[in-house]
Amino acid sequence: MHGFQALPELLRRNGSTTVFGVLGNSNVAWIGEGVRTGTLRLVKTRHEDTSVGAAAAFSRVTGGLGVCSATRGPGFANCINPLISAVYYHAPLLLVVGESPSTTDTTWQNIDQRGFSATIGAGFHHVATVDELEAGFWAAVDAASFDGRPQVLSIGDGVLEAEIILGDAQHVSPSPPPAPPAQRIQAAVDALESARRPLILAGQGALLAGCQPELERFADLIGARVGTTINVNRFFSGHPHDVGLVGQSAAAPIKALVRETDVVLAVGASLNSRTMDGGRLFAKARMIQCDIDPTREGIAAAEGLASNDWTFLCGDGRTTVTALIDEWHRRGLGKRPVEGKTPSYGDVADAIVAADVGQDPERGIDLRALYREVSRRLPSDRIVVTDAGRSRATMAALVDARDARSWLDSHGYGSIGLGLGYAIGAAAAAPRRRVVLFTGDVGFMMASHDLDAVRLNDLDLTIVIRNDQQFGAEIKYLAAFGLPPDIARQDLPDVAALARAFGGNAVVIDDIAGLLDEHLTQAGLFIIDARIDPDIEWRVCMDAATLPT
C-alpha cells in the first residue's frame, strides 16, 4: 500500500468515513482513493471555511471525530476563521492538509501552517516521512478526543507516494486521567456539604466526557440546580431543576436566581467573563472547577471573575464527578432537596415573549413569536443551528431541541457567517432529521456561496433568515457616535431567485401567519426569508423579562 491509500484506511479504522473538503494538489489523491474504494464519503463544499464548520458540527451531532481537508497554503488559510471558532467550541476535529511551507516542491503556496496553528490554539502534527504517518495520525486523533481541541495533520511532501505497511494492531486510545487527588475532592465536598443553594454548571467538557448521568445523579443528591454555558445549551433538557442557559445572555430572572448560588460546581466550562457575566454572576459563590486541561487552573480566578475560594479539580468529568459522589456517600450524607422553585423553560420563554419592548407589527415580525412558532412546529428530533448577530439573543431560550447535540451555536469567538457550514455538517450527519439554520441576513449572505453544498451533496436544509435588512448589531454603535444608521442598512437580493439557482425554493413572510407547516417539511434547500422588526434590540427582551410572582 502507499501513503495515499493508507490515509483513508486509517480514517476507516477510526470509524471516520465522512470528510468535508475542497480539493487541491496536496489532498486530491488520498480523498480520490478513499472515494474510489468506497471508504470515504466526500461532502463537497465551495469554500474551505464551510468544511471546517461542517466538521465541527458533524463531531457535535455524531459524538465522533469531525474530519475535513484543505489543500496547503491558501486552502489552509481559508480555514483559519472557523478553525479559531472550533478552538473556542472545543470541537474534536481533524483538518488534514499538505505540507507548507514545502520542503521539496517549487510552489507559491508557502505559509507557516505550524505557526498559524500555534497562534490560534489548534494542535499541529507534521508527518515528514511515510514511516511517521500511522503514529502521527493517531497522535492527532487522540489529542482531538482528549479535550476537543481541533488538530491539524500536515502530510509531508512525498508521503502520499511512498510505500507503507500499516500495523495490524488495533489502536487503543489512552484512558482518561485519574481522579484528582483525594484532598481536592474532600475540599470540594466540604464546600458542597455546607452549601444551601448549589449550582452544577456544565460546559462543552461535560458533553465530551459524557458525564450527564453522573452530573444529574450528583445534582439530585446534593440538591443542586443545573445549568449550562451557551456552548451546550439544552444539555440538561428535561431535568426538573434545570435553569437552562447561565451567563451574560441569560434572562433576567435566571440571572437573579443564580446570583443567589453559594457554591458552583463547574464541569468542563472555561468560566470566561461571558459565562461569569463579567464577575457579577457568582460574586458571592465559592467556585469548584473541574477541567481536564491542567493549564486552566487559576485562569478565571486570576481574571478576577470570582473573589471567594476556588478549588480546581484537574480530571475527566466522569471520573471526577464519580469521585465526588463516592465521597458524598462515604460521609453518609443523604439526598437533599432543592431550595425554592425552579422556573421551567416554558416559564422563562413566556416571560421573554411577554416583555414589552415596543415591538410594532407594522414594522415587521416579532422575532420572539417567529422563534416560538418555528420551534412549536418542528419535529422533536430537530437539529437547530444559529449564526451570530443581535437577533440571536433570545433564541437559546425560545427555540427548543432535545439535547445539546441538537442545539448548535456557531458563534464561537463572535464570528458571523459560520452557521451555514455548521448546518451543512449537521445535515450530513443526520440525514433523516430536520435541520434548521437561523441566521441574520448579513451572516446569510456572507456564506451564501455554500448554499451550493446543499445541492452538491443532496442534503435537506431549512434556513430561516431573521431578516432585518441591516447589520442590526452595529446600529447601537453608530448611534453611540451620533451617526445615522444608513450605512448599516442593506437589503438582500431576491432570495427566491437565489434559492432556485441552487436547486431550492424560498418564501418571503412579513407576518407570522405566513409561516406554514409545509415550509418546515420541504426536501432539499428551503429558505424562509422572514422580515422581522428592524428597530428592536432583541437582547433587551432578556433583561425586561419578569416571572409572575
Ligand X SMILES: Cc1ncc(C[n+]2csc(CCOP(=O)(O)OP(=O)(O)O)c2C)c(N)n1
Give the interface with ligand X as residue ranges (CB under 6 A): 388-391, 414-417, 440-443, 466, 468, 470-474
Instruction: Rank residues 405 and 466 by Cβ distance to ligand X and give the closer one.
Output: 466
Contact, 526 vs 506, CB < 8 A? yes
Does residue number 533 form part of the binding site for Mg ion (CB under 5 A)?
Answer: no
Smallest gap from Cβ 388 to ligand X, in A, equals: 6
DSSP 385-407: EE--SGGGTTHHHHS--SSGGGE
Instruction: Rank residues 3 and 421 by Cβ distance to ligand X and give the closer one.
Output: 421
Smallest gap from Cβ 101 to ligand X, in A, equals: 27
Contact, 9 vs 39, CB < 8 A? yes
Q: In the Cβ-directed half-sphere of 57, how many Cα atoms lie within 13 Å?
A: 35
Q: Using the rule CB under 5 A, which residue among 48, 441, 450, 533 binds Mg ion?
A: 441
352 closest CA partner among 257, 253, 256: 253
Q: What DSSP state is assigned to residue 129? A: S
Count of residues engaged in binding Mg ion, rule: CB under 5 A? 4
Q: Using the rule CB under 5 A, which residue among 387, 468, 529, 533 binds Mg ion?
A: 468
Q: Residues in the chain, how many?
A: 549
Instruction: Rank residues 215 and 475 by Cβ distance to ligand X and give the closer one.
Output: 475
Outline where 125-246 has alpha helix (H).
133-147, 182-193, 204-209, 212-222
Q: Supply angle C-alpha 237, 239, 245, rounded to 5.
A: 55
Smallest gap from Cβ 474 to ligand X, in A, equals: 6
* 404 CB neighbour count, 10 Å cutoff: 22
Stretch that binds Mg ion, among 169-177, 368-376, 439-447, 489-497 (CB under 5 A): 439-447
Instruction: Rank residues 53 and 472 by Cβ distance to Mg ion and give the closer one.
Output: 472
Instruction: Rank residues 409 and 468 by Cβ distance to Mg ion and give the closer one.
Output: 468
Smallest gap from Cβ 261 to ligand X, in A, equals: 31
Instruction: Rank residues 28 and 492 by Cβ distance to ligand X and give the closer one.
Output: 492
Q: Which does 180 bind (CB under 5 to 8 A by kind): Mg ion, ligand X, none?
A: none
The whole-angstrom separation of Cα 265 and Cα 269 is 10
Instruction: Rank residues 62 and 448 by Cβ distance to ligand X and give the closer one.
Output: 448
The whole-angstrom separation of Cα 33 and Cα 138 is 20
Does residue number 534 form part of the binding site for Mg ion (CB under 5 A)?
Answer: no
Smallest gap from Cβ 534 to Mg ion, in A, equals: 8
Residues from 197 through 236 that contact Mg ion (CB under 5 A)? none
Smallest gap from Cβ 418 to ligand X, in A, equals: 8
Instruction: Rank residues 198 and 443 by Cβ distance to ligand X and give the closer one.
Output: 443
Stretch that binds Mg ion, among 94-102, 182-190, 324-332, 434-442 (CB under 5 A): 434-442
Contact, 271 vs 305, CB < 8 A? yes
Smallest gap from Cβ 412 to ligand X, in A, equals: 10
Smallest gap from Cβ 490 to ligand X, in A, equals: 9
Q: What DSSP state is assigned to residue 343? A: -
Stretch that binds Mg ion, among 134-142, 186-194, 235-243, 441-449 (CB under 5 A): 441-449
Q: Using the rule CB under 5 A, which residue among 440, 463, 506, 515 binds Mg ion?
A: 440
Instruction: Rank residues 202 and 445 by Cβ distance to Mg ion and give the closer one.
Output: 445
Q: Which does 227 bind (CB under 5 to 8 A by kind): ligand X, Mg ion, none?
A: none
Three-class SS string for 314-341? Answer: ECCHHHHHHHHHHHHHHCCCCCCCCCCC
Residue 422 C-alpha cell reads as: 455548521
Does residue number 472 form part of the binding site for Mg ion (CB under 5 A)?
Answer: yes
Contact, 218 vs 511, CB < 8 A? no
Instruction: Rank residues 320 and 470 by Cβ distance to ligand X and give the closer one.
Output: 470
Smallest gap from Cβ 318 to Mg ion, in A, equals: 41
* 320 CB neighbour count, 10 Å cutoff: 30
Bond into 101 cis (ω within 30)? yes
Beta bridge partners of 264: 199, 287
Smallest gap from Cβ 413 to ligand X, in A, equals: 9
Q: In the Cβ-directed half-sphere of 505, how many Cα atoms lie within 13 Å?
A: 8
Give the residue carrying C-alpha cell 430572572: 253
Outline where 194-303 has alpha helix (H).
204-209, 212-222, 252-259, 299-302
Smallest gap from Cβ 473 to ligand X, in A, equals: 3
**Phi-psi domain of 358 (left: phi exceeds 0; alpha: psi -120 through 50; beta: other):** left
Instruction: Rank residues 203 and 389 by Cβ distance to ligand X and give the closer one.
Output: 389
- Residues in the site for Mg ion, rule: CB under 5 A? 440-441, 468, 472
